[in-house]
Chain A
Amino acid sequence: MSLSTEMERAHEPRDVDFSAAGRGVWLVKVPKYLSEQWKTCPNGTDVGKLKISKSKPTGKPDIIFTSFDVTSKSRPTSHDGVAQMAGPSIIQKPSSGMSGARNHQFLVTNVGNQNLVVMSQSKTDINGKELPIEKISIEGKVLQRAECHPIVDAQYRQLKKEQVQAQNTPQRQIKLLPGIVHSYKPVSDHFNFEDKKTKKAEKRSRAEKDKVMDVLFNAFEKHQFYNVKDLVGITKQPVPYLKEILKEICSYNMTAPHKNMWELKPEFRHYKSQDEAT
């Protein structure tokens, strides 16, 4: 039940906080290798510097973005991650170590007639408290679009080369094992393994007819349709005996919606009153 209320709540209309709607925002397309770094870096790290220089007061500004290497692997031991993947030949090259800072050019374009608005969903308060419903707020309007283009030089080419090589190394490789490895046949169900064997040995004995009928009526109160197998499980009676009783008080469905299922004969039913009650 709690799940359904949660669903309900997720669909509830929410107020939108648009107090920050007037704020201008840049939308920047960032190369993949940068964004991957940025996704993993710790909170509040400086990832780069934007240098905006205007040669003429009216002309377009020249924007250069210098990114720092913020990957954890490149800091202390500079070529751990890359070198392993790329093979030993790269290590000797001086460029692999100084992938620290890199210049990018910002190509700034107008938004055109697109109307881009930034929205944020946050699950917590300003104080860090969990909100029952995530808060929706408008964070601003995109004033300019920019594309962060790497400046293609030897350094960049080196990086791409490494990437391609890393991409092309097969994920699974052959390894020569030093000794013999013992293998065991897998068992999927350890817990019920023993149980099953004993269950099969169990024999069902016939009980008194009235008692069985009581159990059956009880069962049919809960649901209208039952499979023979299920009834066998419920009553714990041998199949031929159970069928004998079922033939007396139940009818067998041969056709589609409840095929191969037993239901009570109409004269024994009293579902209708139940339906009206609910």
Chain B
Amino acid sequence: MNPKTSFTKQTMDGSQHDHLSVRGGESVRQNAPPSAPSSISQEEFTVRIPRDTRRKFTMMKFGTGSSVDFSKIGEQPVKIERENNLKEYKTANDLDMLPKFGAGSEYGRDQKEESRRKKYGIMLKKYNPEDQPWHLKIGSGKQAKRYKGVREGTITENTSYYIFTKASDGAFEAFPVEEWYNFSPVLRYKYLNSEEAEEEYSRRDKTLNFFSIMVKKRLKKEEDHGDDDEEGKKGGKKSKKTKDLKQNIITFKCMGKIIYGVQGASKSHRTSLINFYHCSKAKKKKPKGGPKKAVKNSKKNSDDEAVEESDEGDFDDKEVDYMSDTGSSSSLSGLDAEDEKEKKYDEKGVDQEAGLRNILDSDAEDEDEEVGEKEDVEEEVEEKEEKKEEKKKADDDSSSSSSEDDSDLEKDAKLASAIFLQGGKKDKKEKREKQETSVAGESSQKADRRTPTPDKLKEKSVKRKAESSDGKSQPVKKHKSEDSSDGITEDAIRRYLMRKPMTTKGLLQKFKSKKLNMSNEKITHVIAQLLKKINPEKRTINKKLYLSLKKPE
């Protein structure tokens, strides 16, 4: 029953035995028996418990983001204090609320309260300053960083933690950790709450001036405040002021758009922008009811010549609570929401236009006149498309999800569409005929073209190829020069297509992965040109168009 002998039996190490007898003396000892290989180094430390009952150890847990390092603070003063909740405690428990003597005091109130509490078995918790959260302050004045430490209750309930520190003689000293405090920085500035942040996030790609987010927030608040005032018929002036301010901002935005539109040099957009300008004017006149009507009017005006009248369910999406990309703005106040929508269309339009311009530049030689002729038609169609898109967005099944803030792929697709659009243009006359025959079909088609998915893309490319196969000769020289400079060669595409049937998107990906020094736009453009030249076979599998080439015999 000798514990020592049994212990040595258990431990694998033979040298353990004499260490037990050393106990407490010089505790660090390099254990390097001559027989042991030199790579194995062993150290032994005794663990001691210094009983210091007057010292209490607590753990301070700082958040992952904060970089508090007490060793690097330097000369800054560090202060800590307990949060003073005495007043709150008293008010919560109805203590010391009435004067103890003189006017308003009751004779023997405290005792009565006490006895009443006892009677009903209410146990009052004594106020203990030790239970209050910590306030840590690093530095002084306004630059001071403040932290609040809240006690974490559950962590020490069933586990026990010890701190091991090295004592001067090399042994380890173990101290029990009694409390855990979670320190988090105290924020003194205003920030967006989760809902507001979500809202701003949803338009993250559209907001250019991030500083204005907070300004807008403040304005909105003021306006709300102003409305309240108006109801009270007290601060009517103030509310008017804020509203004026807001209108000014709106008109300013519109002006910006107009300028933008002029730069874009597209009639359609200019007209639409002017419409917007009008609507903003209308807003000025009657800020609440005006804007919606104005917008609708503008739609009708531009729709004058259009074949289509509004169908049943066209405005369905107005009722939809949540839309994929702009839906969150519906929670905005009426003015803001409208404004937001306008903005969206505008941007899309401009975006597309840029693509269109590119095409015009590149193919100016052969299509100059044609474009000139068709521009007007194009404008109308485009405008319609815009509206269609808005209407159909909610019910459009496959392509609706593709919006500007989706993935990069989608964006590329759009760019590609801009390029392929040129091909589509030629079909437009046919399409116009189709439009007249079947309104619904046409609208869906258009919606598709506005927000192209890969499938549609291919369709377009096919059309384009079909055209090119009609016998139109390409400007070969131009391409050749481009080919040599880029790494996208006709041969490369041929090779890919010969190996296996591919979609246009797949091709795009292939070249993109090569990391050429080109913008996506340019890559797609070049590929489109080359494909036109190669004119591969087309096959639709699973509703996707695959291009392929036969191997030359």
Residues of A whose CB lies within 8 Å of any CB of B are 7, 10-16, 18, 21-23, 25-30, 32, 35, 38-39, 41-57, 65-66, 69, 78, 94, 97-98, 100-101, 103, 113-124, 136, 138-142, 146, 155, 219, 222-227, 230, 258, 261, 271-272, 274-275, 278
A13 pairs with B78, CB closer than 8 A: no
0 or 1 for each of B57-99: is its CB under 8 Å from A? (1 = yes): 1111111101111110100011111111010000000000000
Closest to B70 in A: A21
B5 to chain A, nearest CB (A): 9
Q: Is B345 an interface residue (CB 8 A)?
A: no
A140 pairs with B165, CB closer than 8 A: yes
B residues less than 8 Å from A47 (CB atoms): 47-49, 174
A21 pairs with B71, CB closer than 8 A: yes
A224 pairs with B106, CB closer than 8 A: yes
B107 pairs with A54, CB closer than 8 A: no
B233 to chain A, nearest CB (A): 35
B70 pairs with A138, CB closer than 8 A: yes
| Contact among B13, B81, B159, B164 with A11 in the assembled complex (CB-CB below 8 Å) | B81
User: In the complex, A87→B7 CA distance in Å?
Assistant: 25
Q: Is B160 an interface residue (CB 8 A)?
A: yes
Can you list 24 A-B contacts with CB-CB less than 8 angstroms, sorted by A residue number? A10-B129, A11-B82, A14-B80, A15-B79, A25-B163, A25-B164, A27-B59, A28-B164, A39-B176, A49-B46, A51-B42, A52-B44, A66-B11, A120-B56, A121-B55, A121-B56, A139-B57, A139-B165, A146-B164, A224-B103, A224-B106, A225-B107, A230-B108, A258-B106
Q: Is B553 an interface residue (CB 8 A)?
A: no
A114 pairs with B64, CB closer than 8 A: yes
| Contact among B62, B77, B176 with A35 in the assembled complex (CB-CB below 8 Å) | B176
A18 pairs with B1, CB closer than 8 A: no
Q: Is B322 an interface residue (CB 8 A)?
A: no
B residues less than 8 Å from A69 (CB atoms): 3
B residues less than 8 Å from A28 (CB atoms): 161-164, 174
B174 pairs with A46, CB closer than 8 A: no
A residues less than 8 Å from B103 (CB atoms): 224, 271-272, 274-275
The B151-176 residues at the A interface (CB cut-off 8 A) are: 158-165, 171-172, 174-176
B59 pairs with A116, CB closer than 8 A: yes
Q: If the complex has contacts A115-B63, A116-B61, A121-B55, are A227 and B107 also in contact, measured as CB distance less than 8 A?
A: yes
B47 pairs with A49, CB closer than 8 A: yes
A101 pairs with B60, CB closer than 8 A: no
Q: If the complex has contacts A115-B61, A115-B66, are A35 and B162 also in contact, measured as CB distance less than 8 A?
A: yes
A residues less than 8 Å from B61 (CB atoms): 114-116
Q: If the complex has contacts A113-B64, A120-B58, are A44 and B50 also in contact, measured as CB distance less than 8 A?
A: yes
B residues less than 8 Å from A122 (CB atoms): 52, 54-56
A residues less than 8 Å from B82 (CB atoms): 10-11
A121 to chain B, nearest CB (A): 5
A46 pairs with B48, CB closer than 8 A: yes
Q: If the complex has contacts A21-B70, A103-B11, are A120 and B57 also in contact, measured as CB distance less than 8 A?
A: yes
Given contacts A54-B42, A120-B56, 5 further A-B contacts (CB under 8 A): A15-B77, A49-B44, A50-B172, A100-B6, A121-B58
B residues less than 8 Å from A226 (CB atoms): 106-107
B residues less than 8 Å from A120 (CB atoms): 55-58, 175
B161 pairs with A13, CB closer than 8 A: no
A residues less than 8 Å from B40 (CB atoms): 53-55
Closest to B37 in A: A55
User: In the complex, A140→B19 CA distance in Å?
Assistant: 30
Instruction: From A42, A51, A100, name the one whose CB has the most chain B CB atoms within 10 angstroms.
Output: A51
The B20-65 residues at the A interface (CB cut-off 8 A) are: 23-24, 39-52, 54-64
A141 pairs with B70, CB closer than 8 A: yes
User: In the complex, A185→B71 CA distance in Å?
Assistant: 67
Residues of B whose CB lies within 8 Å of any CB of A are 1, 3-4, 6-7, 10-11, 13, 16, 19, 23-24, 39-52, 54-64, 66-71, 73, 77-84, 86, 101-108, 127, 129-130, 132, 135-137, 158-165, 171-172, 174-177, 181
| Contact among A45, A97, A118 with B163 in the assembled complex (CB-CB below 8 Å) | A118
B129 pairs with A38, CB closer than 8 A: no
User: In the complex, A47→B59 CA distance in Å?
Assistant: 23
A139 pairs with B107, CB closer than 8 A: no
Q: If the complex has contacts A46-B48, A98-B7, A113-B64, are A230 and B162 also in contact, measured as CB distance less than 8 A?
A: no
User: In the complex, A38→B158 CA distance in Å?
Assistant: 16
User: In the complex, A4→B97 CA distance in Å?
Assistant: 16
Instruction: From A49, A54, A278, name the one whose CB has the most chain B CB atoms within 10 angstroms.
Output: A49
A residues less than 8 Å from B59 (CB atoms): 27, 116-119, 142
Q: If the complex has contacts A119-B60, A141-B71, A225-B105, are A78 and B1 also in contact, measured as CB distance less than 8 A?
A: yes
A residues less than 8 Å from B136 (CB atoms): 16
B residues less than 8 Å from A124 (CB atoms): 54
B51 pairs with A26, CB closer than 8 A: no
Closest to B172 in A: A50
Q: If the complex has contacts A124-B54, A275-B102, are A53 and B42 also in contact, measured as CB distance less than 8 A?
A: yes
B residues less than 8 Å from A35 (CB atoms): 160, 162, 176
B159 pairs with A29, CB closer than 8 A: yes
User: In the complex, A133→B159 CA distance in Å?
Assistant: 30
B3 to chain A, nearest CB (A): 4
B163 pairs with A7, CB closer than 8 A: no
10 smallest CB-CB distances across A and B, nearest first, come from: A21-B70, A10-B129, A271-B103, A43-B51, A100-B3, A35-B160, A22-B71, A115-B62, A13-B81, A26-B164
| Contact among B1, B42, B47 with A98 in the assembled complex (CB-CB below 8 Å) | B1
A residues less than 8 Å from B3 (CB atoms): 69, 78, 97-98, 100-101
User: In the complex, A119→B43 CA distance in Å?
Assistant: 29
B63 to chain A, nearest CB (A): 7
B60 pairs with A117, CB closer than 8 A: yes
A139 pairs with B163, CB closer than 8 A: yes
A residues less than 8 Å from B83 (CB atoms): 11
A48 pairs with B46, CB closer than 8 A: yes
| Contact among A21, A44, A66, A115 with B51 in the assembled complex (CB-CB below 8 Å) | A44
